[in-house]
Structure 1
Amino acid sequence: MKNVPLAAVDHVDRAVLPIGTDYPPGHVLDWHEHRRAQFLYGATGVMVVDTAEGTWTVPPERAVLIPPATRHRVRMLGVSTRSLYVEPSAVPWWPATCTVVDVPPLLRELLLAAVEFEADYRLSGREGSIAALLLYEIAERAPLPFHVGMPASSDLARLCRAYLAAPDAEATNAAWAAETAMSERAFTRRFRAETGDSPAVWRTRARLLASLPLLRTASVSEVGARIGYASPAAFTAAFTRAFGMPPSRFTAGPAGGRR
């Protein structure tokens, strides 16, 4: 199915509903939730998924697993998606929080085939076999670290969401503490308790996540400078430490992209 609203087919008696959707650049799917679990694959572009618990940045040709009944928002940056909406009873192993995963060639081809199905596709034969194999392949995926946690308290969450919208390498713990009318020590202790990271570590990771959409249209040198790194080497080293692969993997040039 292509460009079909989930609400129009959610009632169909199929454990897996595949839907492909094309979005205009910068499109935002505002806060919503699904009864079903969702496997959201970005065949092109970058997606940013927000929940109350955190933010997940999904590079091109990766996917995010969204648990059922999870309120979320998705920002689409040049994205064409291939989604699976899955009955919760069919996937008791589904993660309890959003999870970014790789999409190897076999899974990608199965997704591309599945979105050509009708909503009431045959459960026997090729179509039913593909739907079943999709779930086996998804269950084998390992999580990728493209996310930051979000503090539970509204004042800290507000600071973090503002920073994600406009990362600033010059931001300091002292400035953030002043915005919450706390001492720097008390602020740092509370921030670490709510996120598991110090504010400085959290901001560094947030800036690195913000680089992923930029790498679609700019060089590693340009992106590193834009997010506050003194040299391409420093940016590459920080990015590789955080995500296990260099930023050149995500550039649009011949050396970038999925390998």
Structure 2
Amino acid sequence: MRNVPIASVDAVARAVLAIGTDYVPGHLLDWHEHRRAQFLYGATGVMIVETADGTWTVPTERAVLIPAMTRHRVRMLDVSTRSLYIEPGAVPWWPRACTVVDVTPLLRELLLAAVDLDADYDLAGREGAVAALLLHEIASLGSLPLHVDLPSAPDLAELCREYLAGPDVRLTNRDWARRLAMSERAFTRRFQRELGTSPAAWRTRARLVSAVPLLRERTVTQVATRLGYSSPASFTAAFSRTFGMAPSALVTNRQ
């Protein structure tokens, strides 16, 4: 199935439904939720998924597992998706929070095959075997830490969302404290209680996560400069230490 809304087939008695969708650049799927769990794979582009608890950045040819009934929104940056909508009872092992995962070559081929299936595919034949194998493959995937937690307090969350929209290396704890009419010490302690990390450490991680969509169109050197790193080497070291992969692995268009 391609470019059809999940609501039109949600009631079909199949544990796994696959839908391929093409989005215009920059398209925002505003706040919504699904009755089923969702495996959202980006065959092209980068996706930024947000819930009340955090944001998850999904590079090309990776996916995000979204729990059933999780309110979320997704910004699509030149994305063509292959989504699986899965009955919650079929995946009791599904994570309770969104999780970015690497995708194996076998799973990619299964996804390509699955989106060509009708909603009421034959459970007894090859099509049913493809659906069953999809679940086995997803259960074995390794996670990628491409996320940033958000505070539950609305005023802190607003500061964090603004920063994610435009990371600025010059911004300090004092700047944030002044915004909330707090002392720097009181603000830092409150932030630490909310997220278990310091505001400065949070901003560093947020800047590194913001590099993922930038790496689609810029070199590592260009991204390092834009994010305020003294050299490509220092940026690469910080990115690799945080996410377990080099930023060069995500460069799709070297200039």
Cα distance in 1 for partners of 2:234, 2:16 equals 44
Percent sequence identity over aligned pairs = 70
Residue 180 of structure 1: CA displacement? 1.2
Q: After TM superposition, which residue ranges in structure 1, 4 or more long, deviate above 3 angstroms? A: none
Q: Is structure 2 residue 101 aligned with structure 1 residue 112?
A: no
SS at match of 1:171: coil
Cα distance in 2 for partners of 1:142, 1:183 equals 42
SS at match of 1:75: strand
Residues 50-61 of structure 1 correspond to what in structure 2 (within 5 A)?
A: 50-61=50-61
Output the aligned Cα RMSD.
1.1
Determine the structure 1 residue equivalent to 2:185: 185
Cα distance in 1 for partners of 2:182, 2:139 equals 44
Asked if the contact 2:218/2:253 (under 8 Å) is kept, the reply is no
Q: Which runs of 5+ in 2 are unaligned?
A: none
Determine the structure 1 residue equivalent to 2:69: 69
Determine the structure 2 residue equivalent to 1:230: 230
The TM-score normalised by the length of structure 1 is 0.97
SS at match of 2:191: helix
Cα distance in 2 for partners of 1:115, 1:66 equals 19
Greater CA drift, 81-90 or 186-195: 186-195
Cα distance in 1 for partners of 2:126, 2:177 equals 58
Cα deviation, 1:145-198, whole Å, max 9, x if unaligned, reads 000100000000000000000100001001111111111111111111111211
Cα distance in 1 for partners of 2:173, 2:222 equals 26
Cα distance in 2 for partners of 1:179, 1:203 equals 16
Cα distance in 2 for partners of 1:110, 1:195 equals 38
Letter in 1 for 2:90: A
Letter in 2 for 1:75: R
Asked if the contact 2:63/2:103 (under 8 Å) is kept, the reply is yes
Determine the structure 1 residue equivalent to 2:165: 165
Cα distance in 1 for partners of 2:50, 2:33 equals 12
SS at match of 2:81: strand
Cα distance in 1 for partners of 2:144, 2:198 equals 21
Asked if the contact 2:29/2:75 (under 8 Å) is kept, the reply is yes
Determine the structure 1 residue equivalent to 2:130: 130
SS at match of 1:211: helix
Cα distance in 1 for partners of 2:132, 2:202 equals 39
Determine the structure 1 residue equivalent to 2:43: 43
Residue 252 of structure 1: CA displacement? 1.5
Cα deviation, 1:230-252, whole Å, max 9, x if unaligned, reads 11111111111111111110112
Residue 92 of structure 1: CA displacement? 0.8
Letter in 1 for 2:227: I
Cα distance in 2 for partners of 1:54, 1:182 equals 24
Residues 141-152 of structure 1 correspond to what in structure 2 (within 5 A)?
A: 141-152=141-152
Letter in 1 for 2:167: P
Asked if the contact 2:38/2:83 (under 8 Å) is kept, the reply is yes
Cα distance in 1 for partners of 2:17, 2:7 equals 11
Q: Is structure 2 residue 22 aligned with structure 1 residue 28?
A: no
Q: Which runs of 5+ in 1 are unaligned?
A: 255-259
Cα distance in 1 for partners of 2:128, 2:209 equals 37
Residues 68-107 of structure 1 correspond to what in structure 2 (within 5 A)?
A: 68-107=68-107
Determine the structure 1 residue equivalent to 2:5: 5
Residue 253 of structure 1: CA displacement? 4.3
Cα deviation, 1:114-172, whole Å, max 9, x if unaligned, reads 00000000101110001011111111112110001000000000000000001000010
